Chain A
Amino acid sequence: MKAMEFNSGKIPVWCPGCGNFAIWNAIKGALADLELNGKDVVNVSGIGCSGKMLNHLRTYGFHTLHGRTLPVATGVKLSNHKLTVIVNGGDGDGYGMGAGHFIHAIRRNLDITYLVHDNHIYGLTTGQASPTTDKGLKSKSTPSGVIDEPLNPLAVALNAGAAFVARGYSGEVEHLKELIKEGINFKGFAYIDILQPCVTFGKKYSYEYYDERIYKLDESYDCTSFENALKKVWEKDKIALGIIYKIQKDEYTSLHPQIKEKTLLETTGKIRDISEELQSFK
């Protein structure tokens, strides 16, 4: 399938200039480059402007509840590990509501790709502060300015033991597409935080704001070093794009003898003989 063919035919309803358009294009490009078939891909979407991605891809899709993307994705992938599972959600969805699931998904290292549309704000509910909103920023729910420290989700991921941590940017579509491809190809939990300007409610985090600060990691950067990675995610004035940390770890499905060969879908759902089981109650 060509990138274009991954259009569902539904016209996106994001605001003109919204960073979600670029993420959409990057995903379609990545799926096409990897020669994947829409029928073999499941996109699990959270609730928010980010989650609307679901409507625009010619793939299977699951629009879950707010914050509950990763448990759905886990259930799907364990049940049919032949599917490619991609998750799209916002920073409110993933770092607020879903923060617990995020940490535990990292612990599992299941082969799914998690794209967080990080606009540092709640878009769909018209502009309340999110867990990644900077201190002092005034929003609808924090009219006197945020007084909570912002979360550093990449640092959380690293410290929770994530094996693939990357950062992309809506202003760099080609680069983002390559990151998503790397994420899908990665055998494990691939986490990509995407700087996604919300042009309507996240005015501080504009394309100009990011363009002044971003730079791309190149070959000279060793992404297998945990120390390097920690330094990168705590950098103050500059923002590194690319794969910040990547190591190999046991992938979760491979730890289940139940699905070594066939999928759970293929092997279960049939009546079982339990006479031996019942013997033990005699």
Chain B
Amino acid sequence: MTVLTWKIGGPAGFGIMSAGPMFAKALKRSGYSVQGYPEYPSIIRGGYNCYHITFSNESVFSVYKRCDILVALDKVVFDNEDITENMTVIADFDSIKLSEDIVCKKIHIPIKNILKENDFPDIVKNSIALGASAKLLGVDENIVFKLFEESFPAKVVNMNIEAAKKGMQYCENVIQNNFKPDDKVKDYLVMTGNEAIATGAIKAGVGFYSTYPMTPASSILHYLAGVAEKYGIIVKHTEDEIAGIIMAIGASYAGVRAMTGTSGGGLSLMTEGVGLAAMIETPLVIALSQRPGPATGMPTWTEQSDLKFVMNISQDEFVRIVLTPGDLKELFVMTFEAFNLADKYQVPVFVLTDKFLSESHFCVDNLEYDGLEIDRGYIFEGDESKPMDFFPRYKEFKNGVAMRVNPGTPGGLFKAPGNEHDDFGFVATDSKTRIKNQERRFRKENYIKDELPLPKLYGNENAEITFVCWGSTKLPLMEALKFTEKFNFIHFSAVNPINWEDVKNIFKGKKLVAIETNFTGQLASIIAEKTGIVIEDKFLKYDGRPFFVEEILDFVERGR
């Protein structure tokens, strides 16, 4: 047994989404590496919510299909979960009558009675369940109580502690695991991908974040809004995504580090803004958290299906940077670096994530790195001797890049135009200027390429098959690697612009299989376009769920 999995389920509105992450933290504080994965529909009450935790004394990267311990707070859980013989199910079996043919290891907790006898409100059901789970898994009760203190309003803390204690009484049989808790892990961080993006942006000195809420990107907005005053950031929930991106561009034009974030539907609205940022060469960082679509699609589910969208977004051709981080560290560092890249090259920079990575919880040792430095690129400091002069803001200074000017700078007057323009920003449509500008703007790619990470090989160099993935699919592959040497994988943490000649070398002699959560294999198609290498074998999933570890192992066993 290398990992154990625990899941809590119930209707929306039952507090599953706070109980789950809280228990993940409790396990981490006990010294286990954890990964927490939420599933929920886009409704506020009813439906089925669940939160799945995988934990171990070794590093845990991703989610399994399997569930060892299921906490069923309502009958709805049994309609949604496959109950197996080996499963331990914690439920109030007085109120939930199961059909005879459902066999599992039952732990009965008379939740209804406990509520009634103690005059507890319904919402403490979760705490009863957490108490039982803690007991079952040998989590120190004080860890749980401390989490209650940190998370609940003071006046209800005691009630929840009492409720948890009741739950504990019904769980005498502790599940034995041979995990030795690791003291180091107790000090690790448990956070979501969106929290890694938000903290990366804070670290990078972000000044302005504006957007319109859209799952699964909204929690970046919420996080930054929550700390806006503390860090002196202006965070705006605008009238729509168009205003969101355009406002951020206005802020960036004024010299402030600006960012926006959304999902595919919002990015559809922002499309014109991406082109504007590119044309006026104003730095912009855009976090894109993907979900299945098109249109409204499946708001609370995951997919990696917007890669080609961002590769081609907005009319005509222009340089854009596409980063595809695969875990918390990459998200944090790449969001930080996205601001540097945007400033240095004055192009839109996309940081791609998806619902799985954005909203799941992962464990990481630390995110405070030495060596992170801010680079704002070339900025004209001004000339007091001729304050009202126009400045050649779009004249090449170095490597295809021109000097930025913040409005207010003496002698730096220029026009930032959506139109094609001369060096000063005045409209120009003559063929010489157009050619000069296009060539200069695209020249930046040569230099960006050298700064972006090449795809990286994980696992045994000589494995039989090599999966090719990007973004969050790194995580289930990392987890699956623990069990077999039959495969290795190549992960792209950046897709554009990169040195494709080097990529060809990395691919050499390998039996490649594209693995992506989309219908057509978008990275594979980009690889074919850029290198001529056609990856025939594809393992694709498009049901709104990430790859489960078992699915990858099955595929490897089957040989395809």
Contacts and interface: CB of A to CB of B under 8 A. Distances in A.
Contacts of B408: 39-40, 60, 80, 82-83
A64 to B, nearest CB: 6
A75 B374 contact: no
Contacts of A82: 408
B43 interface: no
A40 B388 CA distance: 10
B528 interface: no
Contact of B206 (A104, A257, A268, A281): A268
B470 to A, nearest CB: 26
Interface in A248-269: 256-259, 264-265, 267-269
A269 B374 contact: yes
A72 B276 CA distance: 11
Contacts of A74: 243, 247, 250
Given A61-B425, A268-B233, A274-B202, A76 B418 contact: no
Contacts of A195: none
Nearest to A52: B427
Nearest to A277: B199
A232 B247 CA distance: 33
Contact of B413 (A58, A73, A100): A58
A256 B413 CA distance: 28
Nearest to B200: A274
B429 to A, nearest CB: 13
Contact of B208 (A64, A78, A100): A78
Contacts of B246: 64-65, 68, 71-72, 75
A51 B368 CA distance: 47
B360 to A, nearest CB: 14
Contact of B388 (A58, A104, A272, A277): A58
B413 A277 contact: no
A55 interface: yes
B409 interface: yes
Contacts of B206: 268
A5 B387 CA distance: 12
B237 to A, nearest CB: 11
A62 interface: yes
B250 A75 contact: yes
Interface in A69-124: 71-76, 78-80, 82-83, 100-101, 103-104
A274 B407 contact: no
A269 B257 contact: yes
Contacts of B29: 282
B388 A274 contact: no
Q: How large is the interface on B (under 10, 10 to 19, 20 to 34, 35 or more residues)?
A: 35 or more
B426 A55 contact: yes
Q: Looking at B206, B252, B276, which has the most chain A CB atoms within 10 Å of its CB?
A: B276
A70 B189 CA distance: 41
Interface stretch (B55-63, B224-232, B436-444): B224-232
Contacts of B229: 257-258
Given A63-B415, A265-B256, A269-B205, A75 B233 contact: no
Contact of A265 (B188, B207, B388): B207
Interface string A41-60: 01010010000001100111
B388 A38 contact: yes
B374 A270 contact: yes
Nearest to A101: B243
B488 interface: no
B477 interface: no
A63 B418 contact: yes
B249 interface: yes
B276 A65 contact: yes
A101 B372 CA distance: 38
Nearest to B366: A278
A275 interface: yes
Interface string A180-209: 000000000000000000000000000000
Contacts of A224: none
Nearest to A6: B388
A80 B272 CA distance: 24
A1 interface: yes
A277 B227 contact: yes
Contacts of B280: 62
A62 B233 contact: no
Nearest to A276: B230
A1 B410 CA distance: 14
22 contacts: A42-B254, A61-B414, A61-B416, A62-B415, A62-B417, A63-B427, A65-B273, A68-B242, A68-B276, A76-B251, A78-B236, A79-B256, A80-B256, A80-B406, A264-B207, A264-B208, A264-B254, A268-B256, A272-B203, A275-B368, A281-B190, A282-B190
Given A44-B250, A58-B390, A274-B199, 19 more contacts: A8-B390, A10-B426, A39-B410, A47-B418, A63-B427, A71-B238, A71-B246, A75-B246, A75-B254, A76-B251, A80-B256, A257-B229, A258-B229, A264-B208, A264-B256, A270-B374, A278-B366, A281-B190, A282-B190
6 A-B pairs with least C-beta separation: A75-B250, A268-B207, A79-B254, A71-B246, A75-B251, A72-B250
